[in-house]
Amino acid sequence: MLSLFSGIGGLDRAAHPFGIKTVAFVEFDPFCQAILKLRYPGVPVYGDIRQVTGKQLERDGITRIDITAGGFPCQGNSTAGKRKGKADDRYLWPEMARIIREVESQWMVAENVRGILSVDGGELFGDVLRDVAEMGHSVGWGCWGG
């Protein structure tokens, strides 16, 4: 699994008991990078997703990625924020989609907040669904919690 927007590796820790091995992390925050390096010694940690490419991963020996997973930044979609959606500087779904296309993973998992369904009048979520379909993936979604 290629882990994007990894934070401190919560998704990766949940996947590990099922035999899913993380081959690389992409995480911008230096504190989170330090935690990942401590918890996963020897697993590459890349910084800004906008600077990471499929070719770079391949050059670094990361050639088989079955799953690409991550919770792309949600602050612009959250009902607790200003709901700038695609106008938010932290809107990075296009970067996640680019990486998924470049590494050609068979599976993908994308996580976000419930507000993604309605931000930008639903257009942002529609873009995500369109991009996933254009990649050739089937898509399903759900909302958990209150």
Per residue in 96-135, pLDDT tens?
A: 999 999 999 999 999 999 999 999 999 999 999 999 999 9
Amino acid symbol at 86: K
Domains, the chain, ordered by start: 2-134 (3.40.50.150)
CB burial class (10 A; 0-12, 13-18, 19+) of residue 37?
A: middle
Residues involved in catalysis = 74
- pLDDT given for residue 146 in this prediction: 62
Mean pLDDT rounded to a whole number for the chain: 96
Rounded CA-CA distance 17/50 in Å is 30
Specify the length of the chain in residues.
146
CA atoms within 13 A of residue 30's CA, in its CB half-sphere: 0
CA distances from 136 to 3, 12, 103, 106 (A): 20, 24, 13, 9
